Amino acid sequence: MQSVRAESSLPQQAGLIITWLKKMFGDKALPPYEVNTRTMELLCQLAEWNEARDKDLTLVVEDQKLKSAEIKAEANYLQELLSDSLGPSYTNLSRMGTTYLNQLVDSCLALEIKDSSLTSYIPAVNDLSSKLVAIEASNQELELELINLRKKLTNALVLEKSLEQDLRKAEEQCSTEKAKVEIRSQNIKKLKDKSEEYKYKIQAAKDELSAAGMEDSLTHRSLVSLSETLTELKAQSTVTKEKLKSYLDLAPNPSLVKVKIEEAKRELKATEAELNMKVDMMEFVLPEQKRRIN
């Protein structure tokens, strides 16, 4: 329904638009435009606004004409008054008098007053002075605002420059950290590769030693255990020797001393035998095993 109404109003809008364009361009050729609903609505709205503005201007011009007529009537009245009181007419005034009178008329027109009496002139001048003071105060406020805006703009530019420098530094630091992270990643990868390689080599060595017949007792852990056992046996041997020495220092009791000495000798002999056996195992079995491997 709305589309039908829009289509029915198009001829009326077109006539209004053509009339307005002819009025605007006169004898010149009308500019081309696309004929559609949207364009016609916009042009019609512009034509209506232009008509409203022309009407407002006409009213303003008529108002000015009325004021001018009133001022002219006032001037005629003053001229008649001057003629009645002073005698000479406006045409008989001197050049200076005519100049003063024209200035008075121009002042009345500028101040928009109905007559040149002091009761009309002084309030108009005071009102104009008040407006001038208000305008000057407004100009001062605008100048202060402009100064503040310039300060804010300067601070904003300084802050922007500082932020740009910080951003540049952050980007450089980020690039440096990124390079460090990449280097660390590469190093970690290399270490992982080396670790895998060493694991493979260790396993291969273990397999090779196992294939060559190496005993578990000759591994590093077993040798460390044997070394600890050897240290303990040496300590026990030292303790036994100390006991034997203490027995040797006892008072003469042939039977008891002989028994204690024999016990200590047997204990010392057993300890030394075990110690020698461990040492022989460490000194001879390992080279023999190495010869087998080779």
Are residues 31 and 108 both part of a single domain? yes
Q: In the listed set 51, 78, 113, which residue is the last one of a domain according to the structure?
A: 113
Span 217-243, pLDDT tens digits: 555 666 667 677 777 777 777 777 676
Strands (E), 146-274: none
Asked if residue 168 belongs to a domain, the reply is yes
Taking phi first (over 0 means left), then psi (-120 to 50 degrees means alpha), and beta for anything else, what does residue 61 get? alpha
Spans of the chain, pLDDT less than 50: 1-8, 285-286, 288-290, 292-294
162 and 248 in a single domain? The answer is no
C-alpha 156/C-alpha 149 separation (Å) is 10
Q: Quick check: is 121 in a domain?
A: no
E strand spans, 57-181: none
Q: Do 6 and 107 share a structural domain?
A: yes
Q: pLDDT at position 231, please?
A: 79
Domains in the chain, number? 3
Which letter does DSSP use for residue 218 in this model?
A: G
Which of 149, 181, 212 is the endpoint of a domain? 212
Give me the pLDDT at residue 104, please.
77
CB atoms within 10 A of CB 270: 13
Beta strands, E only, the chain: none
Q: Which domain holds residue 191?
A: 140-212
Question: Is 194 in the same domain as 98?
Answer: no
> Residues 82, 168: one domain?
no
| CA–CA separation, 217 and 208 (whole Å) | 16
**What confidence score (pLDDT) does residue 145 get?**
92
Residue 127 lies in a domain: no
Q: Could you say which of 148, 182, 212 is where a domain stops? A: 212
Cβ atoms of 208 and 276 within 8 Å: the answer is: no
Spatial distance between the Cα atoms of 108 and 176, rounded to a whole number of angstroms = 80
Q: Does residue 169 sit in the same domain as residue 90? A: no
| Inter-residue contact 253 to 240 (CB < 8 Å) | no
What own/partner pairs with CB < 8 Å and gap ≥ 24 does 8-17 have? Answer: 10/37, 10/40, 13/40, 13/41, 13/43, 13/44, 14/40, 16/44, 16/47, 17/43, 17/44, 17/47
Q: What is the pLDDT of residues 127-166, one digit of tens each?
A: 888 888 999 999 999 999 999 999 999 999 999 999 999 9
The predicted structure's pLDDT at residue 216: 55
